[in-house]
Structure 1
Amino acid sequence: MRAVDEVVEEQAVPEPPEPVTAPRRRADLLSLLNYVVLSMLVMIQLWRDPNGRVLASNDDDHGVMLFMLAHGERVIFHGDSPFWSDRLNVPDGVNMMANTAMLALTLPVSPITHFLGAGVSVALLLTLGLAGTAWAWYWVLSRHLVTSRVAAWLGGLWCGFAPAMVSHANGHVNFVCQFVIPFIVLQVLRLREPGRAVRGGLILTGLIVLQVFINEEALLFTALALGVFVVAYAAMAWPRAKREARHFLAGLGVAALASGALLAYPLHFQFFRAGSYHGQPFSPDEYVTDLLSVGAFARQSLAGYAAVTRHLSVSATEDNTFFGPIGLVMIVVSVVVLWRSVAARSAAISALVLLLVSMGPRLRVAGHDTSIPLPFGLVSHVPVIDLVSVTRFALVPATIAGVLLAMAADRMPAMSVKGRRWFLTGLVLALVPLIPKPLPVVAGDPLPPFLTQGIYQQYVSDDRSLVTVPLPDVTTGRTGMRWVTLSNLAYRTPRGYFMGPVNPPADDTGSWSAPVRYTSSLLWRVREYGQVPVMTDTMRIRIRQDLTFWRAAVVVLVPNSRNGDALLTTLTDALGPPQLVGGVQMWDVRYLPVPSTG
């Protein structure tokens, strides 16, 4: 039965259950198959060597995803805490609940990570995420919103492979895996049905908890979108909304209480335990949606041109709109076709509101910030909202666009011959230029024999750390981060790329790396500028103090590092001549004391 037919089409009597026939089963399987094939084509470059290649457009976040997968392997195979990791950022550790640990994804694939490597798990989840999201929307659309399997296929295709989704496939596993979201939307809409308060509320609870352990941001966006939808619908159809409010609110109450109880400890850990933070390391007007991006092409679309896209997007992983000119027209046409449906108008309003929010506190046009204020400026510092990258609110209109296109396509049989011809032509002209291209990759730095042959184990005990130079950090220590994650966090290392407080306890503002220390700052300058400092005894003492703080057993210079000769000279002056072991220059500093953990 189309469970939300009354909401979408305003029908008084639900339709009878749709018989499951062999042709419909074949349509379902065929849709899933071509979604998987398209997903494989998008990720094909990474699949050729998932542990040896890195997504070129965002190798930093690719490294973070490797860390999340390696942490999941540690939880299952070594009994580590699911909410905390002491393998990175020694000695302080990392609050994994505050870092989108994706436990609902990383734990199930931990055997793959363990035996085949975190790189394989990343490629697998990105591939299944794109295809799975598309098929989840197809399933919900075909069972509850449209009668045509072709229209449902079209909606799933857009929702799973829109430019925004393909863009986030450059390393954002958590945003690509949105296959739970359609069922959350469905269950929320079904709460209005009599007799579903408890059962529907508990089903919604399970979906909410599952989504929290995939991506809380996507859950927040969904909740805001549904909130706007419900308010808009109530304003335009108050008598019906009033009749259904009691059932709807009762179900929401059950879901809120049950999910609150189940998530109380994880959320307390996320927001109040060590490693928690507040706000982002950038202002809310830095990463926003450009007005012109709505009608432009993304760099990974067939018609995309990266040189143009760069001026309209904050990064290659944040092409969150980019519907193309004809695509934008067809979205508007779909709203017009569906205009008599209060639910469709409400969905369009929800999309428009979230699109406006994604544009930040001031309108940006063609890469230039104007003085035109926007509503987001009023809520930019609200707790939880201040943790979101603003442009990502545009993921909501990107998804709603796919739903509206599917619903409008479902109306094609009722159109005139001329109307069908124009609508079909518009769909072709809109979709063909948006066909995704394979994501670009680059070769990653290989792990040296020092790690692959386990030589490091002769030096690094479990209470010590292996310090790679350049130090693992956002943008500057990719190789060190890659080494430890592809080793499934087999050893501890200081610093890293993660979200945590910038300088606790004095400043708990969010930061992409560990608090700065003397040695990390010194080595960063040497790497960036190639200038060897004049080493003094005081400097040597401070470097040793930091190595003691990091519980260092060995210091390893990453081969072929930028300004590697300058780094080698600096480390030699500070620590003495290195040893050449397992293909790396290594300094044995086990003579340094291990700080007490008491």
Structure 2
Amino acid sequence: MRAVDEVVPRLAPDKETPAPAGPRRRAGLWALLSYAALAVLVMLRLWIDPDGRVLASNDDDHGVFMYFLAHGERVLFHGANPFFDSRMNVPDGVNMMANTSVLAISLPFAPITHFLGPGVSVVLALTCGLFGTAAAWYWVLSRHLVERRVAAWIGGLWCGFAPAMVSHANGHVNFVSQFVTPFIVWQVLRLREPGRAVRGGVSLGLLIVLQVFVNEETLLFTALTLGAFVVAYAAMAPARARSDARHFLAGLGVAASTAIAVLAYPLYYQFRGPGWYQGQPFLPDKYVTDLLSLGAFARQSLAGNAALTRHLSVSATEDNTFFGPAGLVMIVVSAVVLWRHVAARAAAIAGLVLLVVSMGTRLRAAGHDTGIPLPFGLVSHVPIIDLVSVTRFAMVTATVAGVLVALATDRALAWPASARRRWFQVGLVLALVPLAPKPLPVVAADPLPAFLTQGAWRQYVPADRTLVTVPLPEVTTGRAGIRWAALSGLEYRSPRGYFMGPVNPPADRTGSWNAPRRFTSDLLWQVREYGLRPVLTDSDRVKITGDLIFWRAAVVVLVPNSRNGPALRDTLVDMLGRPQLIGGVDVWDVRYLPVPPAE
């Protein structure tokens, strides 16, 4: 039937007569409609007002992906460099290849961003990501891996709306957009077929290129999982693996050559272009999977309890396991049901390996470090691996679990009517219903001031100068500045920002979520955090003036309703004198400062 049946067999022992094309198409349509409805439900509260609301659990990343989608609009409509952004972090700019700039999404969405705004683009991208991931897995499962459409529907449902996916829908456009992954997996499995080395290799190479411009972390996870799968399969079926190796390796070589030919310059730019960095701004054992999270419920699951989940998860965007008690049991049961099949067994082993990796260097249980060492400690500092948030490896386990449950369901439905079949069906209901996702929480965002919406800023900010918002845009502060810039179409330039770049180049290129520290940014951060107005010296004023010149500042604008806003305003008055009230905001005109020569 399928050329790869010997590697990933249809698991039903007695195949049913294929349904007519009409009913199969209708089943597929209903599956897609159910995924679309569920994706809209998850994002419903944000759809009500995309520009006026932000995701309550992750407004930082919500804002930065609005910015990245606005960057895609500038690339398509204004001819900007897709790999570099000069609008943020002036004068240094931002290496967009070294950030999750989702160019494969931002560029196709550019017309939507241009005409409807980045707020609409973000919620649409998140919705399409959830829907597209579920639909892609349904397509691969229903056409190649299972006989029964209901099994494929359950697999797509799990892979597209597992707690890991729903939690990352809190602003992570890159991680919910996994619609390329199933096709990469399938093309890799097909490389063993004779005569597919060139055609299959080129197809795989192009899929890899596409995934790089969606999310490189997901591609890394996929490659590691497939590697673990191949090793496990070869160990359990060495004769078959040896016979397939020649075709497989030839196709893999073609795929690698195709991908490298297209990606050579983008990857060079990422790892050696302006703003390149290495490593993460945290230790590998900081964000890891808690052992007890496997059987708990995520905060956005129907049966979830946010207070309990907080003790087992690093954040609301990283509920990467949380299968629930019945869900965990059904994953184990599915693996047992399929254990005779080498390919399914290898997939289960690969998922388990990535789960152990996601637990970091030492086992954590119930929020406590047990001190038990884990294998990840041996590879935690390997280049590329050290760029990953470790707990995200468990997203692979969640996907593998969905595929195993789909395969086991397909087999169970072929069993004769019996208590064993009924219990399996009851288990599915008990596993899936409590994991049903709830709409993501949102909060109202402060409206843009008239200073921006009415275009008053244009009188004060020449093209070669910047608009400086206070609090300054940083990873966890000044998020309004990034949102303002995105909703304004990146028409003006701004200093600093929330992005990944080197902490203190060229001396230290360790990755950081902030621009390199400066006196004024540190001072204003402390005022915002603690509300204490500093006593400025003449030396301080010289440093502040130097920073404003470095940032090419034209105006300084105090963001309304900021934390410790009165202290920030008093500090700015002490720094720059009395402000003007323009368009609903306090504005300090500093165009009298010189502009440093362009480099």
Q: TM-score, normalised by structure 2?
A: 0.98
Aligned partner of 1:441 in structure 2 is 442
Q: Distance in 1 between matches of 2:109 and 2:462?
A: 28
Deviates more, 1:146-155 or 1:63-72: 63-72
Aligned partner of 2:180 in structure 1 is 180
Q: Distance in 2 between matches of 1:268 and 1:16?
A: 52
How many angstroms does 1:17 deviate by?
A: 12
> Pairwise mapping of residues 339-354 of structure 1 onto structure 2 (< 5 A)?
339-354=339-354
> Pairwise mapping of residues 84-123 of structure 1 onto structure 2 (< 5 A)?
84-123=84-123
Contact 1:361/1:377 (<8 A) preserved = yes
Q: Distance in 2 between matches of 1:18 and 1:591?
A: 77
Could you list the per-position Cα deviations for residues 461-485 of structure 1 after superposition, in whole angstroms to 9, with x for gaps in the alignment? 1110000000011111111111111
How many angstroms does 1:3 deviate by?
A: 4.1
Q: What secondary structure is seen at the aligned counterpart in 1 of 2:468?
A: strand
Give, as a single letter, the amino acid of the residue that structure 2 aligns with 1:484: A
Q: Which runs of 5+ in 2 are unaligned?
A: none
Could you list the per-position Cα deviations for residues 255-305 of structure 1 after superposition, in whole angstroms to 9, with x for gaps in the alignment? 011111110100000011121111100000000000000111000000000
Aligned partner of 2:171 in structure 1 is 171
Q: Which runs of 5+ in 1 are unaligned?
A: none
Give, as a single letter, the amino acid of the residue that structure 2 aligns with 1:119: G
Q: Distance in 2 between matches of 1:320 and 1:17?
A: 38
Contact 2:84/2:93 (<8 A) preserved = yes
Aligned partner of 1:245 in structure 2 is 245
Q: Distance in 2 between matches of 1:221 and 1:400?
A: 12
Give, as a single letter, the amino acid of the residue that structure 1 aligns with 2:173: V
Could you list the per-position Cα deviations for residues 429-463 of structure 1 after superposition, in whole angstroms to 9, with x for gaps in the alignment? 00110000000000111110100111101111111
How many angstroms does 1:4 deviate by?
A: 2.7
Aligned partner of 2:582 in structure 1 is 581
How many angstroms does 1:20 deviate by?
A: 6.5
- TM-aligned CA distance change 1:454 to 1:438, over 3 Å: same
How many angstroms does 1:2 deviate by?
A: 3.1
Q: What secondary structure is seen at the aligned counterpart in 2 of 1:5?
A: coil
Q: What secondary structure is seen at the aligned counterpart in 1 of 2:218?
A: helix
Could you list the per-position Cα deviations for residues 135-183 of structure 1 after superposition, in whole angstroms to 9, with x for gaps in the alignment? 1000000000000000000000000000000000000000000000000
Q: Distance in 2 between matches of 1:244 and 1:568?
A: 69
Q: Distance in 2 between matches of 1:461 and 1:115?
A: 25
Aligned partner of 1:358 in structure 2 is 358
> Pairwise mapping of residues 163-312 of structure 1 onto structure 2 (< 5 A)?
163-312=163-312
Give, as a single letter, the amino acid of the residue that structure 1 aligns with 2:538: D
How many angstroms does 1:562 deviate by?
A: 1.3
Aligned residues: 595
Could you list the per-position Cα deviations for residues 510-545 of structure 1 after superposition, in whole angstroms to 9, with x for gaps in the alignment? 100101100001111111111111222222221111
2:69 matched to 1:69?
Answer: yes
Contact 1:137/1:159 (<8 A) preserved = yes
Aligned partner of 2:558 in structure 1 is 557
Q: What secondary structure is seen at the aligned counterpart in 2 of 1:438?
A: coil
Contact 1:10/1:341 (<8 A) preserved = no
Aligned partner of 1:509 in structure 2 is 510
Aligned partner of 1:422 in structure 2 is 423
Q: What secondary structure is seen at the aligned counterpart in 1 of 2:474?
A: coil
Give, as a single letter, the amino acid of the residue that structure 2 aligns with 1:387: L
Deviates more, 1:564-573 or 1:161-170: 564-573
Aligned partner of 2:5 in structure 1 is 5
Aligned partner of 1:81 in structure 2 is 81
Q: What secondary structure is seen at the aligned counterpart in 2 of 1:508?
A: strand
Give, as a single letter, the amino acid of the residue that structure 1 aligns with 2:187: Q
- TM-aligned CA distance change 1:300 to 1:16, over 3 Å: closer
Contact 1:164/1:320 (<8 A) preserved = yes
Q: Distance in 1 between matches of 2:534 and 2:168?
A: 41
Aligned partner of 1:472 in structure 2 is 473
Contact 1:109/1:121 (<8 A) preserved = yes
Q: Distance in 2 between matches of 1:168 and 1:413?
A: 32
Q: Distance in 2 between matches of 1:18 and 1:98?
A: 47
Contact 2:10/2:147 (<8 A) preserved = no
Contact 1:129/1:177 (<8 A) preserved = yes
Contact 1:73/1:110 (<8 A) preserved = yes
Give, as a single letter, the amino acid of the residue that structure 2 aligns with 1:63: G
Contact 2:16/2:147 (<8 A) preserved = no
Q: What secondary structure is seen at the aligned counterpart in 2 of 1:497?
A: coil
How many angstroms does 1:549 deviate by?
A: 0.2
Aligned partner of 2:138 in structure 1 is 138
How many angstroms does 1:129 deviate by?
A: 0.5
How many angstroms does 1:18 deviate by?
A: 6.6
2:327 matched to 1:327?
Answer: yes
Contact 2:4/2:190 (<8 A) preserved = yes
Contact 1:76/1:110 (<8 A) preserved = yes
Q: What secondary structure is seen at the aligned counterpart in 1 of 2:285?
A: coil
2:499 matched to 1:528?
Answer: no
- Runs ≥4 residues deviating over 2 A: 1-4, 15-20, 413-416
Q: Distance in 1 between matches of 2:164 and 2:567?
A: 41
Aligned partner of 1:385 in structure 2 is 385
Q: Distance in 2 between matches of 1:590 and 1:510?
A: 33
- TM-aligned CA distance change 1:17 to 1:386, over 3 Å: farther
Q: Distance in 2 between matches of 1:436 and 1:559?
A: 35
Percentage identity across paired residues of the two chains: 74
Q: Distance in 1 between matches of 2:420 and 2:20?
A: 31
- TM-aligned CA distance change 1:3 to 1:164, over 3 Å: farther
How many angstroms does 1:415 deviate by?
A: 2.5
Aligned partner of 2:375 in structure 1 is 375
Contact 2:10/2:146 (<8 A) preserved = no
Q: Distance in 2 between matches of 1:339 and 1:474?
A: 46
How many angstroms does 1:584 deviate by?
A: 0.6
Q: What secondary structure is seen at the aligned counterpart in 2 of 1:284?
A: coil
Contact 1:2/1:143 (<8 A) preserved = no
Q: What secondary structure is seen at the aligned counterpart in 2 of 1:189?
A: helix
2:118 matched to 1:148?
Answer: no
Q: Distance in 1 between matches of 2:122 and 2:295?
A: 31
Q: Distance in 2 between matches of 1:228 and 1:235?
A: 11
Q: Distance in 1 between matches of 2:121 and 2:251?
A: 37
Q: TM-score, normalised by structure 1?
A: 0.98
2:583 matched to 1:594?
Answer: no
Q: What secondary structure is seen at the aligned counterpart in 2 of 1:577?
A: coil
2:411 matched to 1:411?
Answer: yes
Could you list the per-position Cα deviations for residues 329-372 of structure 1 after superposition, in whole angstroms to 9, with x for gaps in the alignment? 00010011111100000000000000000000000010011111
Give, as a single letter, the amino acid of the residue that structure 1 aligns with 2:331: I
Q: Distance in 2 between matches of 1:57 and 1:349?
A: 33
Deviates more, 1:555-564 or 1:85-94: 555-564
Give, as a single letter, the amino acid of the residue that structure 2 aligns with 1:298: A
Q: Distance in 2 between matches of 1:147 and 1:59?
A: 42
Aligned partner of 2:157 in structure 1 is 157
Aligned partner of 2:43 in structure 1 is 43
Give, as a single letter, the amino acid of the residue that structure 2 aligns with 1:243: S
Q: Distance in 2 between matches of 1:576 and 1:582?
A: 19
- TM-aligned CA distance change 1:3 to 1:113, over 3 Å: farther
Q: Distance in 2 between matches of 1:430 and 1:19?
A: 28
